[in-house]
Amino acid sequence: MAEPTEVSRVLLQAVDDGLSVPGEIVRTAIYGRVEKSYGLKREDIPEKLEAFHRALEDLLGESAKVMEKLIAKKLYSHLGLGFTHHDGWTLVEYVNHAREVKRDGSRSES
Protein backbone atom coordinates (compact mmCIF):
# COMPACT_ATOMS: atom_id res chain seq x y z
CA MET A 1 0.00 0.00 0.00
CA ALA A 2 1.30 3.46 -0.88
CA GLU A 3 2.34 5.84 1.87
CA PRO A 4 -0.77 7.77 2.88
CA THR A 5 -1.00 11.42 1.97
CA GLU A 6 -2.12 14.03 4.47
CA VAL A 7 -5.58 14.03 2.90
CA SER A 8 -5.84 10.22 3.11
CA ARG A 9 -4.84 10.19 6.78
CA VAL A 10 -7.20 13.03 7.64
CA LEU A 11 -9.98 11.42 5.58
CA LEU A 12 -9.99 8.37 7.86
CA GLN A 13 -10.32 10.65 10.89
CA ALA A 14 -13.14 12.58 9.18
CA VAL A 15 -14.95 9.32 8.36
CA ASP A 16 -14.59 8.22 11.99
CA ASP A 17 -15.88 11.58 13.19
CA GLY A 18 -18.78 11.68 10.73
CA LEU A 19 -19.93 8.13 11.38
CA SER A 20 -19.71 8.79 15.14
CA VAL A 21 -22.27 11.62 15.04
CA PRO A 22 -25.23 9.24 15.29
CA GLY A 23 -23.30 7.29 17.93
CA GLU A 24 -20.39 4.93 18.43
CA ILE A 25 -22.60 1.87 18.00
CA VAL A 26 -23.75 3.15 14.59
CA ARG A 27 -20.15 3.85 13.51
CA THR A 28 -19.06 0.36 14.53
CA ALA A 29 -22.08 -1.21 12.81
CA ILE A 30 -21.44 0.65 9.54
CA TYR A 31 -17.75 -0.28 9.50
CA GLY A 32 -18.67 -3.90 10.23
CA ARG A 33 -21.31 -4.05 7.50
CA VAL A 34 -19.05 -2.32 4.95
CA GLU A 35 -16.29 -4.82 5.64
CA LYS A 36 -18.53 -7.90 5.70
CA SER A 37 -20.77 -7.04 2.75
CA TYR A 38 -18.37 -5.07 0.58
CA GLY A 39 -14.95 -6.42 1.60
CA LEU A 40 -13.81 -2.90 2.38
CA LYS A 41 -11.69 -2.36 5.47
CA ARG A 42 -11.52 1.03 7.17
CA GLU A 43 -7.88 1.57 6.24
CA ASP A 44 -8.69 0.94 2.54
CA ILE A 45 -11.29 3.72 2.30
CA PRO A 46 -8.94 6.43 0.93
CA GLU A 47 -7.82 4.18 -1.94
CA LYS A 48 -11.30 2.73 -2.54
CA LEU A 49 -13.39 5.82 -1.96
CA GLU A 50 -15.83 5.12 -4.79
CA ALA A 51 -16.59 1.68 -3.30
CA PHE A 52 -17.10 3.28 0.13
CA HIS A 53 -19.46 5.83 -1.43
CA ARG A 54 -21.51 3.05 -3.07
CA ALA A 55 -21.58 1.07 0.18
CA LEU A 56 -22.91 4.08 2.09
CA GLU A 57 -25.58 4.61 -0.58
CA ASP A 58 -26.62 0.95 -0.36
CA LEU A 59 -26.68 0.95 3.44
CA LEU A 60 -28.13 4.39 4.14
CA GLY A 61 -30.15 5.21 1.03
CA GLU A 62 -30.87 8.93 0.70
CA SER A 63 -29.33 9.49 4.16
CA ALA A 64 -25.93 8.71 2.64
CA LYS A 65 -25.94 12.22 1.13
CA VAL A 66 -26.23 13.75 4.58
CA MET A 67 -23.53 11.49 6.01
CA GLU A 68 -21.16 12.17 3.12
CA LYS A 69 -21.62 15.92 3.43
CA LEU A 70 -20.93 15.68 7.16
CA ILE A 71 -17.74 13.67 6.50
CA ALA A 72 -16.67 16.17 3.83
CA LYS A 73 -17.20 19.10 6.22
CA LYS A 74 -15.10 17.37 8.85
CA LEU A 75 -12.38 16.60 6.29
CA TYR A 76 -12.20 20.21 5.15
CA SER A 77 -12.17 21.43 8.75
CA HIS A 78 -9.31 19.08 9.70
CA LEU A 79 -7.37 20.27 6.65
CA GLY A 80 -7.98 23.94 7.41
CA LEU A 81 -9.99 24.42 4.22
CA GLY A 82 -13.19 26.37 3.82
CA PHE A 83 -16.14 24.12 2.97
CA THR A 84 -18.50 25.11 0.17
CA HIS A 85 -21.57 23.02 -0.63
CA HIS A 86 -21.80 21.85 -4.25
CA ASP A 87 -25.09 20.43 -5.51
CA GLY A 88 -24.66 16.89 -6.80
CA TRP A 89 -21.20 16.33 -5.31
CA THR A 90 -20.59 13.09 -3.47
CA LEU A 91 -17.86 12.39 -0.95
CA VAL A 92 -15.67 11.36 -3.90
CA GLU A 93 -15.82 14.82 -5.49
CA TYR A 94 -15.22 16.59 -2.17
CA VAL A 95 -12.17 14.43 -1.41
CA ASN A 96 -10.78 14.88 -4.92
CA HIS A 97 -11.24 18.64 -4.58
CA ALA A 98 -9.50 18.67 -1.19
CA ARG A 99 -6.60 16.67 -2.66
CA GLU A 100 -6.27 19.17 -5.52
CA VAL A 101 -6.34 22.14 -3.15
CA LYS A 102 -3.72 20.57 -0.87
CA ARG A 103 -1.56 19.68 -3.88
CA ASP A 104 -1.83 23.22 -5.31
CA GLY A 105 -2.02 25.64 -2.41
CA SER A 106 -2.53 28.56 -4.79
CA ARG A 107 -5.81 27.15 -6.08
CA SER A 108 -9.07 28.68 -4.92
CA GLU A 109 -10.93 26.61 -2.32
CA SER A 110 -14.36 27.00 -3.89
pLDDT in tens, 54-100: 999 999 999 999 999 999 999 999 999 999 999 999 999 999 999 99
Model confidence at 8: pLDDT above 50: yes
8 A C-beta contact, residue 63 and residue 22: no
Q: Is pLDDT at 1 greater than 50 in this prediction?
A: no
- Residue 108: predicted pLDDT: 47
User: How far is 86 from 105, CA to CA, in rounded Å?
Assistant: 20
| pLDDT surpasses 70 at 4 | no
Q: What does pTM read for this prediction? A: 0.88
- What is the per-residue pLDDT across 11-38, written as a single tens digit (0 to 9) for each? 999 999 999 999 999 999 999 999 999 9
Predicted confidence band at 2 (pLDDT cuts at 50, 70, 90)?
A: very low
Nearest by Cα to 7 from 73, 103, 90: 103
Could you give the CA distance from residue 1 to residue 18 in angstroms, rounded to a whole number?
25
Do 66 and 73 contact (CB within 8 A), yes or no? no
The domain defined by 6-103 carries CATH number 1.10.1200.200: yes
Output phi, psi for 45, to 5 deg. Answer: -55, -45
Average pLDDT along the chain: 91
For the chain, what percent of residues have pLDDT higher than 70?
91
Going from N- to C-terminal start, the domains of the chain cover: 6-103
